[in-house]
């Protein structure tokens, strides 16, 4: 008996399968055939939903960023100081786990720069509202003006992501940098 799924269900299923494959082996080493075989669909259906594998990567990144947004919003609404909230958001172990998967390593490759920049923009779209609240709280608690919290949060996030791409920043040093900035 043939199983009928809506186009949204099929697309979501392919993204979920691709996400698992990318996390395990990176997207460079994952073929479109592996994704479509996992979803039990014809290869042509992949190209119906995604013009390229990079488009699939962007869909996987979007789902990941939506998850990070929910985590950031949860942390921003919890009790604690702005510094404590930022520390939870940028916990060294959590960021190390997030930025050492085979998929992230593939995104750091020179040929993936455009996709990496797209990921940075997606992360900013999802994370900056909550980060801005945390930075504003941290600045306020330090007796500093808060009107530039959005720009500070954006500079922090983009700067961290670009430096991590170049392996010039270790996740465990993020909070030390923020402490220097707030004092």
Q: Residue 34: what pLDDT?
A: 96
Identify whether the C-beta of residue 59 lies closer than 8 Å to the C-beta of residue 120. Answer: no
Q: Residue 90: what pLDDT?
A: 84
DSSP H stretches of helix in the chain: 7-25, 32-39, 43-49, 53-77, 82-89, 92-98, 102-107, 113-141, 149-165, 174-182
* Distance set, CA 13 to CA 18, 19, 30, 35, 114 (Å): 9, 10, 16, 10, 25
Q: What is the pLDDT along the chain (183 residues), one digit of tens a residue?
A: 667 788 898 999 999 999 999 989 999 999 999 999 999 999 999 999 999 999 999 999 999 899 889 999 999 999 999 989 988 888 867 676 667 789 888 988 999 999 999 999 999 999 999 999 999 999 999 899 999 999 999 998 999 888 888 888 877 777 777 777 666
DSSP structural state of residue 60? H
Q: Residue 26: what pLDDT?
A: 92
Q: Using alpha carbons only, how large is the chain's radius of gyration in Å?
A: 19
Q: Residue 55: what pLDDT?
A: 95
Q: Residue 126: what pLDDT?
A: 95
Measure the CA–CA gap between 180 and 183, rounded to whole angstroms.
Answer: 5
Closest to 167 measured CA to CA, from 96, 61, 64: 96
Q: Residue 183: what pLDDT?
A: 63
Topology of domain 53-182, CATH: Tetracycline Repressor; domain 2 (1.10.357)
Measure the CA–CA gap between 48 and 5, rounded to whole angstroms.
Answer: 15
- The pTM of the full predicted model, rounded to 2 decimals, is 0.85
Identify whether the C-beta of residue 102 lies closer than 8 Å to the C-beta of residue 26. Answer: yes
Q: Residue 94: what pLDDT?
A: 67
């Amino acid at each position: 008996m043939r199983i009928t799924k809506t186009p949204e269900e099929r697309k979501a299923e392919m993204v979920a399968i691709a996400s698992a494959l990318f996390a395990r082996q990176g997207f460079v080493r994952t073929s479109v055939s592996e994704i479509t075989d996992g979803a039990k669909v014809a290869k042509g259906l992949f190209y119906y939903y995604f013009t390229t594998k990079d488009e699939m990567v962007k869909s996987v990144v979007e789902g990941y960023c939506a998850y990070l947004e929910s985590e950031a919003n949860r942390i921003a609404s919890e009790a604690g100081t702005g510094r404590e909230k930022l520390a939870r958001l940028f916990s060294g172990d959590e960021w190390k786990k997030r930025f050492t998967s085979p998929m992230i390593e593939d995104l750091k490759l020179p040929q993936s720069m455009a996709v990496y920049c797209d990921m940075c923009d997606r992360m900013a779209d999802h994370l900056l509202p909550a980060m801005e609240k945390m930075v504003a709280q941290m600045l306020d608690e330090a007796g500093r003006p808060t009107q530039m919290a959005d720009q500070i949060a954006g500079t922090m996030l983009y700067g961290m992501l670009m430096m991590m791409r170049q392996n010039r920043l270790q996740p465990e040093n993020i909070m030390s940098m923020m402490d220097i900035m707030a004092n």
